[in-house]
Amino acid sequence: MPKNVTVIGLGYVGLPLALAFSRELPTTGFDIDASRVGELLAGTDRNREVAESEITSSNLTLTTDASCVADAAFIVVTVPTPVTEDHKPDLSMLESASMMIGSQLCERSEGLPVPIIVYESTTYPGCTEEFCGPIIERESGLKAGEGFFLGYSPERTNFGDPEHTLETVIKVVSGETPEVAKTVSYTYGLIAKAGTHMAPNIKTAEASKVIENVQRDLNIALFNELAMIFDRMDIQSSDVFEAASTKWNFHRYQPGLVGGHCIPVDPYYLTYAASKLGHDSKVILSGRSVNDSMPEFIAAKAGSLLRSQGIDPNSAAVLILGAAFKKDVVDIRNSKAIVLAERLAIRFGSVRIYDPLIEGVEVERDGARFAMIDDPLDSGVKYDLIVLAVAHSEFVVFVNRLEELLSHDGVVMDLTGTFTPGSNNKTLSDVWTL
C-alpha cells in the first residue's frame, strides 16, 4: 500500500478526492491557483461542494509548492480536459501537470518505492500511455514501467448530487501492469465504499469513462429532437414520453440544455481519436449538433410565442432563471443558459438573468454582458418572457410565484420539466414546455 497520496488539482474532482484520501493516508492537495489554496486553507470552497467543517477538520495538507510531488508514492491527476474552439482536445493542462510531475521526479529521494501516477481526467483511449507517459519520461529521464508506473481511474461522480458520490459510486481502476492495477484498486478501495472494478488495461478504463458521457449526450439529443418534432406537430412531448414510458423497455430522458465541462465536451475526445484512425463518428457528432442547436431553437420559439400573444419581441423584457450549467451547482463554465441569453439578446429588448447560487457575477458571451440580478420578486419589474433554464432546488417554491413577475399576456417557458398539471399557479396549458 502506498505510504502517502498527492492529488494534483483541487477543483470539483480533486478536493473531495483529496479529503477522502486524507481520512485514510497522509495526503497532500496541490494546486497552482494560490487564491484557491488560500480559500481552502481558510475553510472556504468556492464551488460549495464541501462544507467548511470538513475542510478545517481534515488532515489534508494544502500547498502550491510543486516539490510535494517529488517524494509522493501515489500521485493522482485531476486537471480539466476541455476542448478548443474547433472542438479538438485541449490537453494543455494535462501536459503541464505531466511536465511538472516529470520535473519533480528528478528530485526524488533515493530508496523510495517506484511512484504510481494515476490520471482521473477524462480523455480519449490511449492518452495516458501515449501522451502523458512520454512527457513524464522526457522531463524525468525515467522510463515508464521502471522509474514510474501509470494508472487510470476516471472520475464519475455527479456534482450537485448528494446521492451519487465518491463513496457510493463504483470506482473503475486500471494500471499498466496487473500488479500496478491491484495497488490502484486497493488504494481507491480505501475510499470507494461501493467497491472497485478493475479494467483489463488503461485504454479500456479511459474508453469506459468517455462513453458514459457519450451515451448520455446521445440519449438527451434524441429526446431534444423528438421535442422539436412534436412541437411542430403541436403535440405535448411530455405526454408522449409519459405514454411511451408505460412500455417496459422504453427509457425516458428529459430534453433541455446540455452544458458544462463533461457531457458536451467528452464526445469530442472520442470522435477525435476515431478520426485519427479514419473513422467518421456520424451518430455521435449528430447528437452533439442537435444539443448545440437547442438555444437557437428555444430563442426562435420564444419569439413566435410572444408574437402570438401580441407582444413585440424587440421591446420585450426577458428573465432567465438559472445561469449555471446544471441544477444546484455554481459552475457557469460552458453553460448553455448563457448561450441562450446571448441568442435571446439578439431578438429581444432586454435580457436579465437570476440565479440565487451565483448572484453578483457578471457573465459575458460573444461580446454580450449579462449581470446576475437580485431576487426579481423584490423588484416589482414585470417580464414579457420568463424562461426556467435551470431547475435549482431553490426555484421549487419560486416558480409558484411566477405570475407576480409576468406581464399581461406574458409567456413562461420551462426547459426543465419542473411544471406539471395542477402543481403551479400557471397550469401546463399556460406554460410552454419541451
DSSP annotation string for 27-57: EEEE-S-HHHHHHHHTT--TTS-S-HHHHHT
pLDDT digits (tens, 9 = 90+) for 387-427: 999 999 988 777 778 888 999 899 999 999 887 644 545 54
| CB-based burial label for 366 (10 Å; 0-12, 13-18, 19+) | exposed
Q: Which residue has the cell 460573444?
A: 366
Among the listed ranges 148-162, 233-247, 308-322, which one has the minimum average pLDDT value? 148-162
Task: Check whether 428 has a pLDDT greater than 50.
Answer: no
| Percent over 70 (pLDDT), the chain | 96
Please tell me the predicted confidence (pLDDT) of residue 416.
93
The sheet with strand 149-152 has its strands ordered as: 61-63, 27-30, 5-8, 74-77, 116-119, 149-152, 171-175, 196-198
Question: Are domains 5-204 and 220-433 of this chain identical in fold?
Answer: yes
CA 10 to the chain's CA centroid: 15
Question: Is the domain 220-433 a CATH 2.40.270.10 member?
Answer: no
Q: Mean of the per-residue pLDDT values for the chain?
A: 93
Please tell me the predicted confidence (pLDDT) of residue 366.
60
Q: Give the other-Cβ count within 10 Å of 216's Cβ.
A: 17
Interval 105-109 mean pLDDT: 96
Please tell me the predicted confidence (pLDDT) of residue 422.
46
pLDDT digits (tens, 9 = 90+) for 247-300: 999 999 999 999 999 999 999 999 999 999 999 999 999 999 999 999 999 999
What ranges do the domains of the chain cover? 5-204, 220-433
β-strand pairing of 368-371 with 362-365:
antiparallel
Task: Check whether 157 has a pLDDT greater than 80.
Answer: yes
Task: Check whether 163 has a pLDDT greater than 70.
Answer: yes
- Tell me the three state secondary structure of residue 412: strand
Q: What is the CATH number of domain 5-204?
A: 3.40.50.720
* Residue that wins the pLDDT comparison between 163 and 8: 8
Q: Which residue has the cell 449526450?
A: 217
d(CA 419, CA 319): 17
* Residue that wins the pLDDT comparison between 417 and 114: 114
| This prediction's pTM | 0.93
CA distances from 146 to 77, 118, 141, 176, 181 (A): 20, 15, 11, 11, 15
Please tell me the predicted confidence (pLDDT) of residue 14.
97
DSSP annotation string for 109-156: PTTPPPPEEEE-S---TTHIIIIIHHHHHHHH---BTTTBEEEE----
Please name every residue paired with 289 in a beta bridge, in sequence order, or none if there are none: none
Task: Check whether 21 has a pLDDT greater than 60.
Answer: yes
Please identify every residue annotated as catalytic: 262
pLDDT digits (tens, 9 = 90+) for 50-86: 999 999 999 999 999 999 999 999 999 999 999 999 9
Say if residues 391 and 326 touch (Cβ distance below 8 Å): no
d(CA 70, CA 105): 5
At residue 289, what are phi and psi to the nearest 5 degrees? -65, -40
Q: Which residues have CB under 8 Å from 150's CB, separation 6+?
A: 116, 117, 118, 119, 128, 129, 132, 133, 144, 175, 176, 180, 202
Interval 338-353 mean pLDDT: 93
d(CA 299, CA 348): 9
Please tell me the predicted confidence (pLDDT) of residue 403.
86
Please tell me the predicted confidence (pLDDT) of residue 420.
61
